[in-house]
Amino acid sequence: MGELFLEARNISKAYEGVQALDNVGLSLGKGSIHCLVGENGSGKSTLIKIIGGVVTSDAGEIVIDGGHFHHLSAIESIREGIQIIYQDLSLFPNLTVAENISLNQMVERRTQVVDWKEIRAIAERALVELGEEIDLNILVEDLSVARKQVVAIGRALTQNAKLIIMDEPTSAITREEVDHLFEVIHRLKAKGIGTLFVSHKLNEVFEIAETVTVLRDGRKVGDYDASDLTNDKLTFLMTGETIEYHPYTVDSQVVSEPPVLEVRNLTRKDEYTDVSFSVRRGEILGITGLIGSGRTEVALSVCGLNQPHSGEILVESEPVTIGSPRKANQLGISYLPEDRLTQGLFQHQSIGDNTVIAILRRLLSKLGLIDWTEKTRVQDHWVNELAIKTPSAEVSASSLSGGNQQRVVLAKWLATEPKVFFLDGPTIGIDIGSKSNIHEIIRELARKGMAIVMISDEIEEVRNNCNRILIMRKGRIAGEIEDPTSVDDAEIFRQISGKNGSEVPRT
């Protein structure tokens, strides 16, 4: 590992009756690339926040470059060269790239007058150091998630970062962008800047990490050299069990039925063109493609959130117009959105309220009032069904770990008992153990007759769970895989990117 930069010793932290961390230690070498893995709620984000000084630990100390801290504050942490990039990236969308990168440093200097030249200079320097090129005058809101990340990393560099911590940086970016991010991480390493990051995608962990620390239920399982681990072994360390996938198949009888949902020549200018597909009861149809390939836009159109310009949608062979999510809901179509934070979850409302918002009609008593006993029953049912880790359904959704929040959103839509269920990134941020759990739930729903459309950029996810896969590229359906068991991930990746050969992800 080389020279030590940071050491967290015997860290413990309890929240709302949950022991988030229990006597956990972590050692990070100078310039090392270190990965933190563990199931949802195992304490990864909490540990990171303690190192960043935004959460105070109940016990333990942090040693940075030989200095001891019992109650590390956020300011001390930054001063010691630690920069955390949270999942929301904490950028100002309405400011330019240059302003975002330079802001912290300008604030620190306490200058009263804005020096625009200096702002540009700082930002330019940071980007050169990163070896990146981004137009400094663009507003951050107009950038892709991956580019925003680069801006956030650039901003970290202006603060003399020695360690950059990223919480699930790869969950919302494409495969190619992940590769790019990893290049950046290697470049940082060459400059002696270490990276600590969290990911639920184990193949990425193997690609980039030198050392892997595994947490389970707030305790440390151990530190491992990435080269000593295999996918199965790591899964076992995290979950205590091995996970096997069997391909999802449907009866030939199902396939002969008329489709529940049929889309014909759907087109929306600048987004997608001439998209046709259909899905039957019991099917799990996968749609994969790069971010920007139009897959989400098509799903939004079918679910009433993005009006198509031409084309037809048929539900149970009846042509329909779907002008709102409400209409979609009435027709039995539900959509689990891509972005949990801004589209899926009411952060500061209770888990229970989040669960029942789309089915209030069903909770009304004869007098037209909400039946609270029934509401409690429904929300408790889903907390149990999806094994949401919480002391009570009455607590705020914001107190849950990321993966458990995703389950709450899933619960909201499952409660509507849709006929057709679009899942856009159903397991983003969900740990490998629960992922197979959720996949099993989805399969069970399909077996019971629901039609499922699963949108994902995780090739493995669609290949393992879908009986049919559509490939989207540049707004068109570029191919269909009738039998996912007959192809490997590399082949699917080739079709997605439209390239031949070479650039194949390791899995």
Residues that bind Mg ion in the complex, under the rule CB under 5 A: 45, 402
CB of 437 to another protein, least distance (A): 5
Interacting positions 277-306 with another protein (CB under 8 A): 305
CB of 375 to Mg ion, least distance (A): 28
Report the residue number, 211 or 434, with the smaller CB distance to another protein: 434
Q: Is the CB of residue 199 less than 8 Å from the CB of residue 209?
A: no
| Tokens standing for residue 52 | 């960043």
Q: How far apart are CA 213 and CA 94, in angstroms?
A: 37
Distance of CA 437 to the CA centre of its chain: 17
Amino acid at 230: T
DSSP states along 209-264: -SEEEEEETTEEEEEEEGGG--HHHHHHHHHSS----------HHHHHSPPSEEEE
Query: Which one of Mg ion, ligand ATP, another protein, none is in contact with 29 (Cβ closer than 5 to 8 A by kind)?
Result: none
**Judged by CB under 8 A, which of 246, 348, 366, 506 binds another protein?**
348
**Judged by CB under 8 A, which of 67, 131, 391, 498 binds another protein?**
391
> β-pairing, 33-38 with 194-198?
parallel
CB of 410 to Mg ion, least distance (A): 17
* Cα end-to-end distance, the chain, whole Å: 25
Instruction: Rule CB under 8 A: say whether 196 interacts with another protein.
Output: no
Of the ranges 2-10, 165-173, 365-373, 458-466, which one interacts with another protein (CB under 8 A)?
365-373
Interacting positions 368-427 with ligand ATP (CB under 6 A): 389, 399-404
Instruction: Rule CB under 6 A: say whether 45 interacts with ligand ATP.
Output: yes
Instruction: Rule CB under 8 A: say whether 405 interacts with another protein.
Output: no
Instruction: Rule CB under 8 A: say whether 361 interacts with another protein.
Output: yes
Residues in contact with another protein, counted by CB under 8 A, come to a total of: 57
Instruction: Rule CB under 8 A: say whether 398 interacts with another protein.
Output: no
Report the residue number, 312 or 385, with the smaller CB distance to ligand ATP: 385
Instruction: Rule CB under 6 A: say whether 38 interacts with ligand ATP.
Output: yes
Report the residue number, 21 or 315, with the smaller CB distance to ligand ATP: 21
Written in H, E and C, the secondary structure of 314-364 is EECCEEECCCCHHHHHHCCEEEECCCHHHHHCCCCCEHHHHHHHHHHHHHE
Report the residue number, 64 or 238, with the smaller CB distance to ligand ATP: 238
Query: Which one of ligand ATP, Mg ion, another protein, none is in contact with 43 (Cβ closer than 5 to 8 A by kind)?
Result: ligand ATP
Interacting positions 233-262 with ligand ATP (CB under 6 A): none
Q: How far apart are CA 181 and CA 99, in angstroms?
A: 22
**Judged by CB under 8 A, which of 171, 195, 213, 329 binds another protein?**
329
Of the ranges 24-32, 49-57, 125-133, 367-375, which one interacts with another protein (CB under 8 A)?
367-375
Instruction: Rule CB under 6 A: say whether 432 interacts with ligand ATP.
Output: no
Q: Is the CB of residue 385 less than 8 Å from the CB of residue 417?
A: no
Residue length of the chain: 507
Instruction: Rule CB under 6 A: say whether 46 interacts with ligand ATP.
Output: yes
Instruction: Rule CB under 6 A: say whether 201 interacts with ligand ATP.
Output: no
Enumerate long-range contacts of 126-130, CB under 8 Å, 24 or more apart: 126/101, 126/154, 126/155, 126/157, 126/158, 127/101, 127/154, 129/157, 129/191, 130/154, 130/157, 130/184, 130/187, 130/188
Q: How far apart are CA 316 and CA 242, in angstroms?
A: 40
Q: How far apart are CA 327 and CA 304, in angstroms?
A: 7
Q: How would you label 168-186 residue by residue, b for 16+ Cβ within 10 Å and e otherwise? A: bbbbbbbbebbebbbebbe
Which residues have a Cβ under 8 Å from the Cβ of 499 and sit 6 or more positions away?
Answer: none
CB of 223 to another protein, least distance (A): 22
Of the ranges 40-48, 70-78, 463-471, 475-483, which one interacts with ligand ATP (CB under 6 A)?
40-48
| Tokens standing for residue 16 | 């709302």
Instruction: Rule CB under 8 A: say whether 418 interacts with another protein.
Output: no
CA angle 187, 429, 350 (to 5 degrees): 135
Of the ranges 181-189, 268-276, 309-317, 401-409, which one interacts with another protein (CB under 8 A)?
401-409
Q: Which residues pair with 350 in a beta bridge?
A: 396
The footprint of another protein (CB under 8 A) covers 14-18, 39-41, 217, 239, 241, 243, 305, 324-326, 328-329, 335, 337, 342-349, 353, 357-358, 360-361, 364, 368-370, 372, 383-384, 387-392, 394-395, 403-404, 407, 412, 416, 433-434, 436-437
The footprint of ligand ATP (CB under 6 A) covers 15-16, 18, 20, 38, 40-46, 389, 399-404, 431
